[in-house]
A and B are shown apart, each in its own frame.
Chain A
């Protein structure tokens, strides 16, 4: 995850409390989604950014996960994500996100 984004996530967690933050991802690949999810839960796996050794354990979801899709107006979802739904390997993204959440999520 971009170093500046790590800083922003960390700042928001400090400002609002980590229990009040949900991080929403939109990466097209499960591996990239997993890396970002790991960064905001277990810490920066590349040991380069502000979240190095910082285990925020935030709630983190991908936009294509059913829990999130159910929260969004169907027309808006189709307009914004419909095309990408055909492109993304949704099963593998959901599996990756569930794995990261069950292992590292604190909330």
Chain B
């Protein structure tokens, strides 16, 4: 039987100080043009926590608005206030920076992350009040250190500074004197990824109600790598995050495939469950500090707020078929192969048309497509256009070439078969998966019957191949347990009994 999607968790962490400290656009600028006008202007363009709560794409990400509701508002969205400005939504939350820094400290098991005394005194009560933190997590909050210690490590020991509201409030120290893979920068990046993954897992557990002991396997599909100089990407973020959350029965591993990794991981999770290897597999990922403020220069130039001030995370639970939850059609996956080629036409054909062809379906037979769901508010001012819309136009154009759609209907295809984008530009975070939660809800509500999730990845960035990458899978309405052709225990007993009876009759006949 096909495996099902039991639920999803989606979180954001508001990290405005990390935009300046850790976003590569800003850190590169500090090296290349340390006195640039842009760097001077960045602080004026950073948003407040209240502003990010009031930002509609953020409220859509955590489930307080549906993508369809978001689509009713004219773009741009950054100058409009969301009808709901809550911290918590049905999928997750938007965590403020001070609490996120403390979550990073909670997630640090090697005594590498330290926070200042008065900061700890102010933030610890907030952590203790978090509805999903476990007692074990709270017990990991360390006493704060003196500011002089922080300054010493930052100034003399290559530690990565932690800022909140422009004030130095902590540090992440290097984990090795020589090994660049364990530098303070890398450890910081990885702790952010781990902490945002942990928060996603906590919300997934709440959203699905699964008993923590029942999670068998966790797959992390973020874009960071942890390891030392002898195995730079050794892993294993998945088990590290599962440990913090208390998934004591789970094992896990990391899947890496740039932005396509979440979709690869979902297909693998579905197969692991369908094969009977595991009953409950979680696919999850934390976010990425490097991409904070990635398009900041264009946002500042256009006098907009810097919208890439959020770390994203997600978690999805894939389980045995319960007869109710939306199924993953494991036999209908699309894949970009080594021989596919890299023209957009070849890519879209391999990801969208080929898996449908194999089952006698046409492009318009899929009710909704979720390709790259980047928030257009972020990408349009940077000259990258509306990424989801561009994808829908390509899918529609392919349908026209295949005679499955009239050319005049290309414009409507995006409205009828697409969603507007709302996800932060955190690489793997906007890639197909942000829509898994909303699409499953739409299927359960009977609004749609099926949807295709498409993940695409730019492998050339790793300089090992110029190949493109991508995979896709289809979510569909549960066909119900009863339809599956399986044999019950009683039927097996009856079949064995009949066979033995027949055999006995033969023996009797022979004896006679």
A residues lining the B interface (CB < 8 Å): 4, 28-29, 31-32, 34-35, 46-48, 52, 79-84, 86-87
**Across the A-B interface, the 3 shortest Cβ-Cβ residue pairs:** A31-B383, A86-B397, A83-B345
A79 touches which of B33, B36, B345 (Cβ 8 Å): B345
Q: B398 and A83: CB pair below 8 A?
A: yes
Decide yes or no: A87 and B397 within 8 Å by CB, A28-B390, A48-B32, A79-B345 being known contacts: yes
How far, in whole Å, are A29 and B398 apart by their CA atoms in the complex?
18
Cβ B383 vs Cβ A32 within 8 A: yes
Q: Are A47 and B394 in contact (CB under 8 A)?
A: no
Q: How far is the CB of B300 from chain A (nearest CB, A)?
A: 12
12 further A-B pairs in the complex, CB-CB below 8 A; given A34-B383, A84-B345:
A28-B344, A28-B385, A31-B385, A32-B383, A47-B36, A81-B343, A83-B344, A83-B394, A83-B398, A83-B401, A84-B344, A87-B394
A77 to chain B minimum Cβ distance, whole angstroms, is 10
Q: Chain A residues with Cβ under 8 A from B397's Cβ?
A: 83-84, 86-87
* Contact residues in B for A81 (Cβ distance below 8 Å): 343, 345
Q: Is B29 an interface residue (CB 8 A)?
A: yes
Please name the residue on chain A nearest to B398 by beta carbon.
A83
Instruction: Say yes or no: is B6 at the interface (Cβ < 8 Å to chain A).
Output: no
The contact string, 1 if C-beta is below 8 Å from chain A, for chain B 371-390, is: 00000000000011100001
Q: Which residues of B contact A46 (CB under 8 A)?
A: 297
User: What are 11 A-B contacts defined by CB distance under 8 Å?
Assistant: A28-B385, A28-B390, A31-B383, A32-B383, A48-B28, A48-B32, A80-B346, A81-B345, A83-B401, A84-B394, A86-B400
Instruction: Indicate the member of A28, A86, A87 with the most B CB atoms within 10 Å.
Output: A87
B393 at the interface (CB under 8 A from A): yes
Whether B385 pairs with A29 at a CB distance below 8 angstroms is: yes
Known: A29-B385, A35-B383. A47 touches B345 (CB 8 A): no
Question: In the complex, which residues of chain A have a beta carbon less than 8 angstroms from the beta carbon of B401?
Answer: 82-83, 86
In Å, the complex CA distance between A86 and B384 comes to 18
On chain A, the residues within 8 Å of B407 by CB distance are: 86
CA gap between A72 and B343 in the complex, in Å: 15
Whether, in the assembled complex, B238 has its beta carbon less than 8 Å from a beta carbon of chain A, the answer is no
Q: How many residues of B contact A (CB 8 A)?
A: 25
Within the complex, what minimum Cβ distance (angstroms) separates B220 from chain A? Answer: 27
CA distance A34 to B383 in the complex (A): 9
**With a CB–CB cut-off of 8 A, which chain A residues contact B25?**
48
* Residue with the highest number of chain B CB atoms closer than 10 Å, among A28, A34, A35, A83: A83
B168 interface residue (CB < 8 Å to A) = no
A28: chain B residues within 8 A (beta carbon): 344, 385, 390
| Cα-based distance from A29 to B384 in the complex (angstroms) | 7
Q: Does residue B53 face the partner (Cβ distance < 8 Å to A)?
A: no
Interchain nearest-CB distance for B399 vs A (Å): 10
A28 and chain B: residue at smallest CB distance: B390
B503 to chain A, nearest CB (A): 63
Distance A8 CA – B73 CA, assembled complex (angstroms): 42
The 8 A CB mask of B330-345 against A (1 = contact, 0 = none) is 0000000000000111
Contacts of B29 in A (CB 8 A): 48
Inter-chain CA distance A52–B344, complex, in Å, is 30
- A83 touches which one: B33, B348, B383 (CB < 8 A)? B348
Contact A82 B345 (CB under 8 A): yes
With A46-B297, A48-B28, A48-B32 in contact, do A29 and B348 touch (Cβ < 8 Å)?
no
Interface assignment of B467: CB less than 8 Å from any CB of chain A: no
> When chains A and B are docked, how far (Å) is the Cα of A46 from the Cα of B28?
12
Answer yes or no: B410 CB below 8 A from chain A CBs: yes
Given A48-B29, A80-B343, A83-B401, A32 and B384 contact (CB-CB distance below 8 Å): yes
Determine if B32 and A80 form an interchain contact, defined as CB atoms under 8 angstroms apart: no
Minimal beta-carbon separation of A106 from chain B (angstroms): 24
Residues of B within 8 A of A32 (CB): 383-385
Partner of B393, one of A31, A80, A82, A87: A87
Within 8 Å CB of A34, what residues of B? 383
Which residues on the A side are within 8 Å of B394 (C-beta)?
Answer: 83-84, 87
CB–CB B410/A86 < 8 A: yes
Using Cβ atoms and an 8 Å threshold, which residues of chain B touch A84? Answer: 343-345, 394, 397
Closest residue of chain B to A86 (Cβ to Cβ) is: B397
Chain B residues contacting A80 (CB-CB under 8 Å) are 343, 345-346
Q: Contact between B32 and A47 (Cβ–Cβ < 8 Å)?
A: yes
A74–B463 Cα gap in the complex (Å)? 32
* Smallest beta-carbon distance A97→chain B, Å: 14
Q: Give Cα A79–Cα B297 distance, bound, in whole angstroms.
A: 37
Contacts of B36 in A (CB 8 A): 47
Bound Cα distance from A14 to B329, whole angstroms: 52
Q: With a CB–CB cut-off of 8 A, which chain A residues contact B385?
A: 28-29, 31-32
Give the Cβ gap from B312 to chain A, nearest Cβ, in Å.
Answer: 23
Chain B residues in 8 Å Cβ range of A82: 345, 401
